[in-house]
Amino acid sequence: MGKLATPMNKWSLVCIAVFAAFLMFSNSASADNDAGEYVFFRIDSEIDVLIANKGTLTLRWWCAGGTSFGEVQDGTASESTNSADGIIKVASSSKEMTDGGCIFNTSDTLRASASIDGWVTTEWTGVDLPASGTDPFTTGASMDYTIRVNGVTDELSNTLTLNGTTASASYDGTVASQSYSNYGGTWRKYIAGATTGGYVTGGADGYVNRATTSTLTVSATASTSVDFGVTATTSLNDESGLLFGHKIQVFQVGGTFATTKISYGTVVAGDSFGTTCTMGTTTNAGYWYCPVPLANTGISARYSGTNFQTTTESYTDRTAGSNAQELTIIAPASNVSGGGSSGGGGGSTSATPATPATPAEPATPATSDTPAIPATPAIPATPATPASKGFVTLAALDLKEGDTLSATGSDDPDIYIANEWGYKRLFLNPAIFNFYGHLGGFSAVKNTPSTTRDTLVTSGLFRNCEIDDPKVYGVETTSEDGGMLHWVNTTGDQAVADDPDFFKKVFCINTNEFNWYPQGSDYTSVNQVPVYSR
């Protein structure tokens, strides 16, 4: 965990033998020179900061052949500077130097160790004292912090800069010193934890604080490391990234997140809707993630997206980083005449109305002599699905959600509108089509091949989204241009059990169209809704 020593460019601990006294006579004795020599021990941390005034810094040393060691503490009377400044100055002729068996001018080898609460004890060896009292000597070493936090990300793996402003980290045990630093090009938190058994907590404004899952073991013999969601670094305590303070789930009203999730658009939240939320993708599709600052007092999130009504929902305000993540559901209605997430329609442009079919002749009644043989009941056909018709996406059909389309020139010139699930609805007549002027009128209808029209499955399930009526109705076609609505009076769970695509088939209509239809008796099952065929 400590930085690597680099030869001759920077030294974490420097021992310099210097002459502090200037002799008046060039032939002064060697003993006189010894009295003026000092050794400077410079003690710094792994991020090149002197460890000064951070507690009791103890230095020990011994030399080859010594039977004991010399010991001095930074800032004590036996230390010549008498200042806790991270530099320990020891006279070469002092008792402590003699205790260590170190003799200058004899090419002796010095070994040393430094210790202080909050840092890992460091020991270094093989420092040769100069053969001459005029030759300085140098060596390199540093002290590692007992705790290092390697980084913080959010739950989507986005990096949050660990600089104390964007993201932060703290230790709830005793701390001798701590510092944020981008030493080496990466922002980290360095903590001189002096006691064991505490937790490290990572946090950021707008996110949920996360603490280590277990307490840390702080030791003077080895450092420990922590990260929150950082995958590029292996830490002893590898935690998950920070949860966003607010998470928004979006699906169409009347459906469920599993069946009608909305995976595009924009969500904003907070004061004046000033926080733009991040849209989830792939496995997170349908969710938006909002780092609303704690200082915000606004409690609303707003969704907006093509083909949907702009919808706002309230949430519970978070006032502390320790507050849990708030999950809010927004269920917008379609602003297009259609459901699943779009609108529908029927009728034609200026095409000649279809000629009514010739009524079928009634069957000849059976005579009393020959009883009629009852017909074998027809076995209901398996309902068609978009997948069974070869539907993949609207884009593959050169369509987008909310497009109106007609296979003009075919045997079915009616106008439809498509949704993203591969379903379409019929505009039963021109009057109904004209209820939806925002669709652009007849001139905006796309002329498509009949194969494109037939790839989309026609649905007859409607809901009045203009008044946010949760009831779903099935339409019964009663004539060429006429129809009747029947409330599908069943539970949502039963509806999905009867037809897994039920909510994907529901198209929004407005009040004008809803009021245009007469209403018939309720349907009690989805299976009673007629299947439209031309």
Mean predicted confidence (pLDDT) in 332-349: 48
Q: Examine the domain organization and report whether 223 and 254 are in the same domain.
A: no
Q: Examine the domain organization and report whether 227 and 251 are in the same domain.
A: no
Q: What is the pTM of this model?
A: 0.59
The single residue listed with the structure tokens 């502390």 is 320
Contact by Cβ (8 Å): 94, 37: no
Last residue of one domain, picked from the residues 101, 128, 155: 128
CA–CA separation, 442 vs 163, rounded Å?
A: 59
Q: Examine the domain organization and report whether 121 and 158 are in the same domain.
A: no
Last residue of one domain, picked from the residues 314, 330, 346: 330
- The model's pLDDT over 373-421, given as tens digits with 9 standing for 90+, comes to 544 444 445 678 999 999 999 999 999 888 999 987 777 789 999 998 8
User: Has residue 83 been placed in a domain?
Assistant: yes
Q: Examine the domain organization and report whether 235 and 290 are in the same domain.
A: no
Q: How confident is the model at residue 105 (pLDDT cuts 50, 70, 90)?
A: low
Confidence (pLDDT) at 99: 85
DSSP H or E run through 505: helix 502-505
User: Has residue 184 been placed in a domain?
Assistant: yes
User: Has residue 141 been placed in a domain?
Assistant: no
Q: Examine the domain organization and report whether 490 and 516 are in the same domain.
A: yes
- The model's pLDDT over 143-170, given as tens digits with 9 standing for 90+, comes to 999 999 999 999 999 999 999 999 999 9
Residue among 189, 145, 183 nearest 166 (CA): 189
Supply angle C-alpha 275, 280, 282, rounded to 5: 170
User: Has residue 523 been placed in a domain?
Assistant: yes
First to last CA, the chain: 76
Q: How confident is the model at residue 130 (pLDDT cuts 50, 70, 90)?
A: low
- Give the pairing type, strands 147-153 and 159-160: antiparallel
Number of domains observed in the structure of the chain: 4
Number of CB atoms found within 10 A of residue 270's CB: 24
Last residue of one domain, picked from the residues 239, 262, 295: 239
Which residue pairs from 353-357 have beta carbons closer than 8 angstroms and sit at least 24 positions apart in sequence? 353/480, 353/481, 354/480, 356/480
User: Has residue 350 been placed in a domain?
Assistant: no
Q: Examine the domain organization and report whether 83 and 67 are in the same domain.
A: yes
Q: Examine the domain organization and report whether 271 and 209 are in the same domain.
A: no
Q: What residues make up the domain containing 160? A: 147-239
